[in-house]
Structure 1
Amino acid sequence: MFHQVGIHRDDQHCQCFLWNNGHSGATPQVYVMQVMTFGASCSPSCAQFVKNTNAKRFAREFPVAVNAIVHDHYVDDMLSSVETEREAIELAMNVREIHAQGGFELRGWRSNSKNVQAALSEQEVDEKNLNVISQFSTEKVLGMWWNSSNDTFTFKLPTKPGEDLLSGRCVPTKREVVRVLSIFDPLGLLANVLMYLKILIQEVWRSGIGWDDAITSTQLEKWRTWLGVIEKVETVSVPRCYRLTTSSSMQTDVQLHIFVDARVNGTAAVAYLRFEENDRIECAFVAAKTRVAPNKLTSIPRLELQAAVIGVRLARTVVESHRININKRLFWTDARDVLCWLHSDHRRFSPFVGFRVAEILENTELPEWRWVPTKLNPADDRTKWQRIPNLSPNSRWIRGQQFIWEKQTEWPEMPTHIGTTLEQKHSVGLHCSSASVIDCEKFSTWMRLLRHTAWLKRYIRNLKAKRDGAPLSLGELTQEELLAAESYLHRIAQESVYLEEIAVLTKAINYDDAYKYRLPKSSPIYQLSPYLDNFDVLRMRGRTGACEFTEPGASCPIILPRNHHVTELIVRSVHWRYHHLNHETVVNELQQKYRIPKLRRVCYKIRVTCQTCKNRLARPDAPFMADLPPARLAAFTRPFSYTGVDYFGPIAVHIEIAHSLNTDSCILALRNFMALRGTPLELFSDQGTNFVGADRELKEAYQRIDQNLLFKEFTTSNTKWSFIPPGSPHMGGS
């Protein structure tokens, strides 16, 4: 197949090789492969892409054949199944035609129908015989032996181990026992036989012997017991076709039955398909899965639950890999503990049980789970070997349990009581009450809290001294007492958040094993390398302790939680010390002694809540401006219909020179304005109050203007004179 796929000319240089044409000593020449080569990692995927791309060109003309090429091919092998001989011949011819269009040729056809075999073999000349044994009807298909004459799967013993090893005449080594397990059984048809060998290999592995050491006498006895069964493997015959009496019509009810079981040595799950059409019922073996128990001892209920998980995964694989429309799924188990866990709240159980129950309920429904007695469970044949397994085609392992061949009324009924307390979480109620001697929340300043704590500690110390007859501490507080109170408050703040970290570090000190008792990486202070000082205060380990120019605590600052009240009081005290200013200076001073997460955010919070800072930064709110007068909003009127009068306003539309500030000059200026601009409808003036800031002479001169004379002169039937309120220049237009 690979040599039928050409390589683009630009990519052929990746397949260069040297060749001397068989002449020894000759200088080899450089050649390139123009097609895909065997052994290249990209060849399988590229060949599949080319094969599928060629097939998709005929998706409209041959949809069934294209689907068979895309989904029923494994590299260059095709395995497909249809209902009738005519469909098989038509499918094969169409697939052959599509492949021929891409340069591929399908040969070596095999079928369980003689008519189909004859029709497909007529055009083949010099047919490649894929048989490795003398019988023509038995052929190896994808690693499994298929007898096309009776349409069954069979098995052949491996020839590599040798006759002496399989006959039991010699004692095998660990390597030879493992090599025998190379029997290819992807569907689990021989799972009831190979499971015993898996358990034996696990036992040999736990014994600790070397790869080339002989197994023990006990293991040899089990080995020979297994050899007595493996001889009959070649007689095993499993039908390939699921249905013989029922049809593939929509009226046929198809059910998938999964049986699960577990023992101390391993778990097992086996799947059967059940077909029911009218009064005809037939069942067929589909697949099986086994797994040995872990080396660590596990309880039987847990193994039963693990077997249920394997059964759910097996059912999902069977449904996804079949084109058969399965109407219903049923899961059978003989473990009442599993049924109880499924019908209970899985959050009440241990994590091992809870997670697996959650996976089961995510992929199945509760009504799909049924109970079956141990004697009626075919999966029980795989988990224990109390007797030699039955390998005949009529065994319950191949044929299925008898009750699934009967009506549903004959199936085992669910037990009435399936309760259990296994794996249930046991919670113990513990009430712990702790009352602090000092309530830090009642203090608003750090110094008041510090001195109050120091006085209280002196009081307690004096009580003990009085009891013991020792001298009492009197007078003002000393520096040592204030430092002790400060360390006590630091510990209160740290224990409220970092209690687990303090407990781990305390164990490391008491047991002198810092490597064993280390903080988990999930701790918020893990990267700070914390440690406890002589006062049991949590500090960050620094590297500048030998520097002579730093403060004693700057190298190893005290770790404080950001949201504790003690931390807020300390930050507020430094904020007050710097008179509510110099924010970065406050941060720098705090970093000289403390390690507070997100310190700048804490400082910002203090500034925002500080009343002094609020007062200092407060700004009066500007009053809202009143609505504009109607004259300012008049539209569709002649310019200067509404005129504001002022002397040297900041903005003037019409400027008229007044020779003096008396009334006559004002009247003359207004008459000149009217002669040029027309008579206005309304005049606005500010009564002189807008001259704030001018000299006194200007104000006194303006006051000499006769306001009444102006009002009388210019107030007519067409013109109105209005005086604006004081302090409102916007009403006059200035």
Structure 2
Amino acid sequence: MYVTNRVSRIRKLSKPNQWSYIPTELNPADAATRSVPPDKLQDSMWLNGPPTLNETSKDLVDTDFPLLNTEQDKEIRPNVQVMKTGLQESTLALTHRIERFSVWKILVNTFRRLKIFAKTFQKDKTDDLSTSYNATENFVISNIQSEVFSIEINCIRNKLPLPKTSRIRNLNPFIDDIGMLRLGGRISKADIDFKLKHPLIIPGNNCYISASQSPPFSSVGIDTFGPWSIVTRKTRGGQANSKRWALLFTCLSTRAIHIEVIEELSLSSFINALRRFIALRGSIKEIRSDRGANFVEVCAIVNGRPIVSVSSDPESPLILSPAMLLTQKAGCYPAPIGTFDTKDLYKAQWKRVQHLADIFWQRWNKKYLQTLQTRRKWTDSSPNVKQGDIVLIKDKNVSRNAWTTCIIVNPLPGHDGRVRKAEVRVARNGSTYTRPISEMVLLLRV
């Protein structure tokens, strides 16, 4: 019926002069629909093609195929050009709104005030609009995660593997009790704080850093190193040695350095070196130091300079200075707080050592442990070995064709249900060993 309808439609919509006929002597398909003797199959058109393939261009007969009128032929689908206008609603995502803020605390407090304002007009009191700082911070991070890692979050909730193109696939992410995307990592059994083991995952392209151009050495860091013993004077009887220190100025923007030599660790030596530095490099907007003993009273000395002309009147001995305006007191330096001996030095050294140890462990937890989180291999799950599976045990001392054939006797799963080692029995002598699955080659499953 289908062929009949199709033929009748062709005859209705076309003319016989538009048809092309292939004669039987030029049709290789006849060899498949009609039987051909085996002795003639080698010379048939089924293997060699029609004779017209071997003819030259001179022997071919030109066949004229008139062009079809696409506007009148109903069998040809017309090409219609259509233009449309799409309306797209402009929505400003949260990740674009945070570009207006340069300080994280200001961003969180702004959203916190907005939530407090929305809570006053809330009709449905069942909705949770927590206004604490931590809740607002989690709200902002959760929205950023939903916009950037929407595919990963859907895969985790539906218990599906993450796509191979995911940026966080090697981090083994999971969703915690409050719906936040956290890093699973490889140190989940470490005896440290939960937030340190499983930190929140935030995309790196959402960190906006504001920078302004400034001349070199506008912001500097200062430190002192030394001393060195140098020869200051030579005499007939020998030579005189002295100690020298170096004051290091580092530009916090360009990391350029400037070194000034000082004769002693005193306030006067430091001020002279600072004045020499300013004379060469220009004024300074910010100074960061290690708060050494020779830097502590610099602020008081600078603020002790007079801001008005000094009077010679003996009845007005006080000189107005910034220190007097700040403290509302006459400028006077405190007396020494006491005398110190060797045991005080030992106490200070012990406190310094303990402080350095605390800094070491803080950096260990915050920086080094995080480098162990990323999983470099074994990101795809594979079936566990089962009892009765036949495996080969790897041996570096023998060739592969001489590896021992064993049978899995007792798989030993871990806390997550994954089998990482198993008891195997040697098929040759019946000996039993415990081997990791990384040293096994699976031959046959049960």
Output the TM-score relative to the length of structure 2. 0.33
Q: TM-score, normalised by structure 1?
A: 0.21
Q: Relative contact order (C-alpha < 8 Å, sep 6+): which is higher?
A: 2
